[in-house]
Amino acid sequence: ICTSVNDAVLHGVPYDYSLKDGDLVSLDLAISVDGWVADSAVSFVVGKDPDPEDLRIIKCTEEALAAAIDVAKPGNRLGDISNTIGDVAREYGYPINLDGRAHHGYKLREGLVIAIEPWFLKTTDEIFQDPKDGWTLRASDGSRGAHSEHTIAITENGPIVFTDRTNL
């Protein structure tokens, strides 16, 4: 489990820190079952009075993930997924660190299993690796970030989300 807090957006190594009211947290976890590995991430704000801007960036990652899953069909390409994620970020006014090109990249085929993980920072697209742990990725300007992720299978009848949490 990776635990990213506030300006840490990805690969957060847990450390001796007590979460406090208003912290923006992303949990990213991988699970291995019978030789299959699935990855999923969720972001949330700790406490009763979340900053509306934190809720907005979380919503953006969730909408980008849903939109990307919708285009994950045989015959489409990885660039279609990336481009869709970028379109949602641009609609919200968030910077993107990699601009995907529609109709480019690996062609999606039935049976392919992939993780889709949009993550955004509020005011920058620049990240750096935290020198303290050599793993956590943080916003270069200290802005807060959010991350959502699902592992899916590409099928003829549309994507299957292996990490769907709606039935929990």
| Segment 22-49, tens digit of pLDDT | 999 999 999 998 988 899 999 999 999 9
For the chain, first and last CA: distance in Å?
Answer: 19
Number of Cα atoms under 13 Å in the Cβ half of residue 137: 17
Residue (of 140, 144, 149, 150) closest to 120 by Cα position: 144
Beta-carbon count within 10 A of 29 CB: 14
Beta-carbon count within 10 A of 164 CB: 12
Q: pLDDT per residue over 47-99, tens digit each?
A: 999 999 999 999 999 999 999 999 999 999 999 999 999 999 999 999 998 77
pTM confidence score: 0.94
Residue type, 83: N
